[in-house]
Amino acid sequence: MNATRPRDEFLRMLAGRYTGQLVVSVYTTCFEWMAIRPDALNYVAVGAMGQAGSHALGLALGQPDQEVWVLDGDGSLLMNLGSLVTLAGAKPKNLTHFVFQNGSYEANGRASLPVAHAIDFAAMARAAGIADAHQFSEPEALDHWLLHRGPAAGPALVDLRVLSSATSYPQRYDYIHSAEARDTFRAALKALPHTGARA
Amino acid sequence: MTHLTPTQALHGSAIIQALKQARVEFVLSVPDICTSEGLLRPIANDPDLRLVRVCKEDEGVSVCAALSFCAKRSVLLMQQTGLMDSANALRAIAVDYRNPVCMMIGLLGKEPDVPPQQSARYGVRIIAPMLDVLGIRHLVMSSDEDIPACMQAIDEAYERSQPLAILFGRNPQ
């Protein structure tokens, strides 16, 4: 399955289907998502080195009535592949992990992955125990799946074959590492129903 | 077998009771031979604590941080090898981002009655200085008498939104 469409087309499609999910996103995908769909419930303080899915798992366990999306990169997930097994073991029904596979470490100079554009993350997810795993190269196919997916029995992983976006988006590193970003998310989460007052 | 006096003993059951009183609901863990039998196994069988088994310790750092945003308290149970492997996650997520990541760390190879910094084992001796360099508060839990101070430290970690490391001075029984 070859990539023919840019990442931001997929992100715009997801933005059109957004219904209040907590969204955990990583670096380049994060910058594009913040520009396409700015929202207080964007969780941007993930650190680096493959941690997005683990933050999302914490949110999914802590807010079981709230759907959580992860917008991850291929290079990022490859730094923490065991997290797929952890996810399969924890079995959150409210977590969907989107992997944007562009074959490069885009935030670090667009250097190639050891193997580019040929990794089957959906197969990896199934092998890890995540049965609800899919692969798409067209935003329309992703849209169709989102519209017709039934009630979740566990976590889902969606491997998206993408090209880098042609549009240039602001790289807001200062914001994603800021106390303001964390405080904004914390306040927005606290304002949701079913969230406790303090840890 | 060495028989400990009551004041020297560290009981997993007492730690678990204290964690519940400290409002800890989640335990993240990569198994550690120092704590597997005396603490992890009873936690796994305790219906009041949710055990989440992670494949690698840095995953647990992130899960604990995210749970704190949801007003949920957690501890990360691991061995000192996992602490060292998680240095970048701790630097970014726990320290730079000021998240209350509370760790309970078994020290493989530590002599029971020797302070960690004075251990003959290099892999034990460096742990406290490494936590100092990271800027992470640390305490030693060697007996049941140390448990209240450690739970107070967990309270303070959440009140101040900062990480904490509790080092096991001996294996819980």
CB contact under 8 A, B72 and A48: no
**Cβ-defined contact of B70 to A43 (cutoff 8 Å):** no
Instruction: Check if B130 contacts A (Cβ < 8 Å).
Output: no
Contacts of B16 (CB under 8 A, 6+ apart): B39, B42, B43, B46, B49
Q: Which chain A residues are within 8 Å of B53, Cβ to Cβ?
A: 86, 89
Residues of B in contact with A55 (CB under 8 A): 62-63, 65-66
CB B115 within 8 A of CB B172: no
Q: What is the DSSP string of B33-66?
A: TTTIIIIIHHHHT-TTSEEEE-SSHHHHHHHHHH
Calculate the average pLDDT of chain A: 95
Across A27-52, b (16+ Cβ under 10 Å) vs e yields: bbbbbbbbebbebebbbbbbbbebbb
Query: In the numeric block, which tokens belong to residue A153?
Result: 């029995």
pLDDT band per the 50, 70, 90 thresholds, residue B6: low
Q: What contacts A156, CB < 8 A, 6 or more positions away?
A: A95, A96, A97, A130, A132, A133, A134, A149
**Straight-line distance from the first to the last Cα atom of chain B, in angstroms, rounded to the nearest whole number:** 13
pLDDT of A198 strictly over 60? no
CB proximity under 8 Å: B 82-111 to A: 88-89, 92-93, 96-98, 100
Instruction: Report which of B55, B90, B97, B66 is spatially closest to residue A52, judged by C-alpha positions.
Output: B66
B70 contacts A196? CB cut-off 8 A: yes
- Interior/surface letters B137-170, b for 16+ CB within 10 angstroms, e for the rest: ebbbbbbbebbeebbebbeebbeeebbbbbbbbb
What are B71-128's pLDDT values in tens digits?
Answer: 999 999 999 999 999 999 999 999 999 999 999 999 999 999 899 999 999 999 999 9
Model pLDDT, residue A195: 61
Q: Please tell me the predicted confidence (pLDDT) of residue B43.
A: 98
Task: Give the gap in angstroms from C-alpha B57 to the nearest C-alpha of chain A.
Answer: 10
Quote the DSSP letter at residue B94: I
Of A43, A54, A62, Cβ closest to residue B59: A54
Residue B133's pLDDT is 98
- Sort out which chain B residues have CB atoms less than 8 A from A54's CB and list them: 54, 58-63, 66
Contacts across the A-B interface (CB distance below 8 Å): 114
Mean pLDDT of A31-60: 96
In this complex, is the C-beta atom of B139 within 8 Å of any C-beta atom belonging to chain A? no
Q: Does any CB of chain A come closer than 8 Å to the CB of residue B155?
A: no
A36-45, A78-87, A190-199: least confident range = A190-199
pLDDT at residue A40, as a whole number: 96
- For residue B66, give the nearest of A59, A80, A177 by CB distance: A59
Is B26 part of the contact surface with chain A (CB cutoff 8 Å)?
yes
Q: How far is CA A164 from the centre of its chain?
A: 16
- Of the partner residues B59, B66, B96, the one whose CB lies closest to the CB of residue A83: B59
Average pLDDT of the residues in B164-168: 98
Tokens encoding B101: 């990541």
CA B144, B28, B125 angle in degrees (round to 5)? 60
Please provide the average confidence, as pLDDT, over all residues in chain B.
96
Q: B7 falls in which pLDDT band (50, 70, 90)?
A: low
**pLDDT at res. A194:** 66
Q: Which helix (H) or strand (E) holds B27?
A: strand B24-29
Instruction: Give pLDDT, residue A138.
Output: 98
